[in-house]
Amino acid sequence: MKPVPTLRQLRYLEAVVERCHFGQAAAACNVSQSTLSAAIQELEDLLGAPLLERTKRSVVPTALGRSVAERARGLLKGAEDLVDLAQAARDPLSGPLHLGVIPTIGPFLLPRALPRLRERFPKLQLYLREDQTARLLDRLDRGELDAVLLALPYALGDLEVMDLGQDPFSIVYPAGHRPAANIADENLLLLEDGHCLRDQALAACELEGARRNAGFNGTSLYTLAQMVANGLGVTLMPQMAIDAGILRGLDVTVRPLAGAVPHRRIGLSWRRTSARAETFRRLGEALTAELAM
């Protein structure tokens, strides 16, 4: 039988190629640097070719090393899916689940949802990661996350997505502000580039051409709320954040937008190849109930 690499060797190589640093890769794999280095040397001996260029100060993957590491990611993800398949067969709502969540959802939905999720699924161990959508989806693709709670619309490629419900937008003014006849004429404060809520709010409210205060792009919804309270402009705020009390104690006025209610959709996304689809659907049903409350 032809000798083949072990998953351990492939995992160590992938960690080094990603970080270009033996010490950091060893720490990420929870092994000593000598153990990691020896395993990669064994892999190079098995394949008969160098995978890394080593100097006293740095480590650089060879072209073959990068190719092997890229293929290793798929093999490692497949091995993890086998474990997930067995876990799901025993009890789909048990074991660890690494959930990514975007900053415009996490602080507002999860504090009230988590206690009921723990009560409903006591064997499920949720590990949360908050970040912007693009970075979360990259982690999902790499197998570092199991699912992502995000806002729609968003280009998701071949990912599976479950629609959990809608989150309407309202406009928030400083107290005493005389609203313009058209919101496009207001000094509209938005989140900085990279936050999907920025484009979703503008598209939902048909405001792509609205005048924006480019000098005051907020880093969070909390920042935008404070900027409005200080008279710097107006902003679009999702109902989820308003219900969570983000405007409590601030001297602002909330008004619904005229016409059809503009909104974003909330979704739960996972890899189409994941063996835990039933887990995600059950979790999604619970989150749908939370959104409807």
- Is 1 within a domain? no
Confidence of residue 27 (pLDDT cuts 50, 70, 90): very high
Q: What's the pLDDT at 206?
A: 67
Number of domains in the chain: 3
pLDDT of amino acid 122: 92
Instruction: Please report, for the domain that includes residue 43, its CATH number.
Output: 1.10.10.10
d(C-alpha 263, C-alpha 167), whole Å: 5
pLDDT in tens, 155-195: 898 899 999 999 998 999 999 888 777 777 778 888 877 67
**Residues 117, 178 within the same domain:** no
Specify the pLDDT at position 57.
75
Residues 190-218 have pLDDT tens digits of 887 767 777 777 776 666 555 555 556 67
Long-range contacts at 42-49 (CB < 8 A, ≥ 24 apart): 42/9, 43/5, 43/9, 43/10, 43/12, 43/13, 46/3, 46/5, 46/9, 47/5
Confidence of residue 273 (pLDDT cuts 50, 70, 90): confident
The predicted structure's pLDDT at residue 226: 93
Q: Which of 86, 102, 135 is the last residue of a domain?
A: 86
The pLDDT value recorded for residue 88 is 65
How is 13-76 classified by DSSP, letter by letter? Answer: HHHHHHHS-HHHHHHHHTS-HHHHHHHHHHHHHHHTS--EEE-SS-EEE-HHHHHHHHHHHHHH
Please state whether the predicted TM-score (pTM) of the whole model is above 0.75.
Answer: no
- From the CA atom positions of the chain, what is the Rg in Å? 24
Do 163 and 234 meet the contact criterion of CB atoms below 8 Å apart?
Answer: no
User: What element of type H or E holds 278?
Assistant: helix 277-292
What is residue 194's predicted lDDT score, i.e. its pLDDT?
A: 66
> Six-digit token pair at 130?
């908050």
Alpha-carbon dihedral angle through residues 82, 88, 94, 95, given to the nearest 10 degrees: 0
CA separation for the pair 270, 172 (Å, rounded): 34
Q: Stretch 96-115: mean pLDDT, rounded? A: 94
By percentage, how much of the chain surpasses pLDDT 90? Answer: 49
Signed CA dihedral, 239, 277, 101, 207: sign only: negative
Q: Assess if residue 233 is contained within a domain.
A: yes
Parent domain of 110:
91-158+265-292
Domain CATH for 209:
3.40.190.10
Q: Which residue bears the tokens 């939370």?
A: 290
Query: Does pLDDT of 281 surpass 90?
Result: yes
- Burial class of residue 292 (count of CB atoms within 10 Å of its CB; 0-12, 13-18, 19+): exposed
Q: Judge whether 244 and 108 are in contact, CB under 8 Å.
A: yes
Of 29, 64, 86, the domain-final residue: 86
Among candidates 199, 219, 195, which has minimal Cα distance to 208?
199
Retrieve residue 285's tokens.
Answer: 């049903």
